[in-house]
């Protein structure tokens, strides 16, 4: 009976995805074991290390239909690892005792680690596809709202105006960096393991490296320069990458939640009938996807830390740290998949209220552009005097709820240098966007180049 949110009939497609569950399911993991054993037999038969007849027989029997998973469960509980149980079942279905050549020269961890890398490879394909869809949606938002002014915020307070396109482009730039990280880590991480008992391939003698090279070629994986049974940086790097990626997803969810607040109301998650409704407060429109993204991404970071713990392994074959990966790595991928899927839903259907963004720029009676006024007065009054004068006028505007431009125009020290028309332009948030548009264009140019 499913007991966790990742397997729950009710919750599983909220917190993860069916596609990623299939990658890490018992059936697929066992199928990868069989694919490796079949490739090993094929390579060793071709190299004359095992009889060609045995190689053909083993390869023909390395099919998931020949594995009784209930029996494998019992074997694994008795032995402690699933690989020997898989091999025993294959040996049993091979004709004429030819199955005895199965798993020749290999060790349990060789098959397990290589299967894990194959799961990582399949999982990263799914991750990359979601990344690209999210990046495309962010690029669309950046382009569409390139010059849509909104309040930039610092310490949850209005700071200076930015544009919503600028906010979207800054997130898109992070996805561009994640894209580069993924490209760089694949050659380091997608490396198989075939090294024998203590990593020296002693069971195969002089043929060991030839078998290793041919096996990795068959599987489409990199050949290790040396055994990595207890040197686990490859696995930890994947966890670190997904922690970084989902950290950006968490950032998106945080901003969406804050911008959906009743007092802000600048963006909203996509609307569906009944979604985000309260059981007692009919007026509410709660963020939903953003909540799940926040929860998932927090757990990814915690599980990534566990992979770093697993990297502290003893000698040439470890006594427990390895098994940490068995728990943490699948959950990292499953939770990341859920966060990516929920983020895609948010950014592809995000509802943006440009009018409310503009209205919120005006709630401080113009003081959000006090920096612009200070810099504009600097050449006439000096920077420090301009700062102190504008500071006092901003306080007066806030307490009296009078517009900043009105108080500026009344001040004789200012009015002798700047007309009201000049002051009105100075305090218009749309005229104090800096180089937001140009920065958006730079990010979009990088994105276009990446997709061309």
Which sequence positions are flagged as catalytic?
Answer: 278, 317
Residue 10, SS3? coil
CA neighbor of 281 nearest in space, from 295, 262, 294, 264: 262
Structure tokens at 26: 């018992």
CA neighbor of 406 nearest in space, from 365, 364, 361, 358: 365
261: left (phi over 0), alpha (psi -120 to 50) or beta: beta
Residue 362, SS3? coil
| Contact criterion met (CB below 8 Å) for 42 and 55 | yes
| Contact criterion met (CB below 8 Å) for 130 and 338 | no
CA–CA distance, 139 with 146 (Å, rounded to integer)? 10
**Per residue in 186-217, is it b (16+ CB within 10 Å) or e — as a string?**
beebbbbbbbbbebebeebeebbeebbebbbe
Residue 191 has phi, psi (to 5 degrees) of: -125, 130
What are the residues facing 222 on neighbouring strands? 191
CA–CA distance, 325 with 311 (Å, rounded to integer)? 9
CA–CA distance, 362 with 359 (Å, rounded to integer)? 5
Give, in degrees to the nearest 5, the angle at Cα 250 between 257 and 138. Answer: 80
What are the residues facing 163 on neighbouring strands? 149
Q: What is the DSSP string of 151-186?
A: EEEETTEEEEEEEHHHHHHHHHHHHHHHHHHHHHHH
What are the residues facing 151 on neighbouring strands? 161
DSSP 311: T
How many Cβ atoms sit within 10 Å of the Cβ of residue 135? 22
DSSP 319: S
Give, in degrees to the nearest 5, the angle at Cα 319 between 314 and 325. Answer: 95
Maximum pairwise Cα distance, the chain: 105
What are the residues facing 153 on neighbouring strands? 158
Structure tokens at 114: 């290589």
């Amino acid at each position: 009976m499913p007991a966790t949110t990742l397997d729950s009939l009710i919750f599983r497609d909220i917190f993860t995805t069916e596609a990623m569950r299939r990658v890490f399911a018992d059936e697929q993991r066992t199928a990868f074991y069989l694919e490796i054993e079949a490739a090993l037999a094929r390579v060793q038969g071709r190299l004359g290390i095992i009889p060609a007849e045995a190689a053909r027989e083993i390869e023909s029997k390395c099919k998931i239909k020949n594995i009784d998973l209930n029996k494998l469960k019992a074997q694994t509980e008795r032995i402690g690892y699933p690989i020997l149980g898989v091999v025993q079942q294959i040996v049993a279905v091979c004709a004429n005792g030819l199955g005895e050549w199965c798993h020749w020269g290999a060790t349990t961890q060789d098959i397990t680690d290589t299967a894990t890398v194959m799961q990582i490879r399949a999982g990263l394909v799914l991750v990359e596809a979601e990344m690209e869809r999210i990046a495309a949606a962010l690029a669309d938002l950046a382009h569409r709202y390139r010059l849509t002014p909104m309040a930039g915020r610092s310490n949850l307070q209005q700071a200076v105006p930015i544009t919503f396109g600028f906010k979207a482009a800054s997130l898109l730039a992070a996805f561009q960096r994640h894209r580069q990280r993924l490209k760089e880590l694949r050659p380091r991480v997608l490396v198989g393991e075939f090294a024998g008992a203590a990593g020296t391939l002693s069971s195969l003698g002089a043929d060991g490296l030839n078998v290793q090279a041919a096996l990795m070629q068959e599987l489409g994986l990199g050949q290790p320069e040396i055994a990595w049974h207890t040197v686990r940086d490859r696995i930890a790097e994947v966890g670190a990458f997904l922690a970084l990626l989902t950290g950006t997803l968490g950032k998106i969810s945080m901003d969406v939640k804050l911008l959906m607040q009743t007092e802000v109301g600048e963006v909203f998650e996509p609307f569906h009938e009944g979604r985000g409704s309260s059981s007692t407060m009919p007026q509410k429109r709660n963020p939903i996807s953003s909540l799940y993204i926040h929860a998932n991404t927090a757990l990814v970071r915690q599980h990534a830390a566990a992979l770093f713990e697993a990297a502290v392994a003893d000698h040439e074959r470890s006594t427990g740290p390895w098994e940490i990966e068995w728990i943490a790595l699948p959950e990292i991928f499953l939770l990341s998949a859920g966060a990516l899927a929920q983020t895609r839903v948010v950014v592809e259907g995000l509802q943006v209220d440009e009018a409310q963004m503009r209205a919120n720029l005006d709630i401080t009676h113009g003081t959000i552009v006090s920096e612009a006024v200070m810099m504009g007065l600097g050449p006439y009054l000096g920077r420090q005097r301009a700062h102190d004068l504008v500071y006092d006028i901003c306080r007066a505007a806030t307490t009296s709820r009078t517009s900043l431009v009105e108080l500026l125009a009344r001040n004789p020290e200012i009015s002798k240098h700047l007309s009201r028309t000049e002051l009105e332009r100075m305090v218009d948030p749309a005229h104090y966007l800096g180089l937001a548009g140009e920065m958006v264009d730079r990010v979009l140019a990088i994105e276009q180049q990446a997709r061309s």
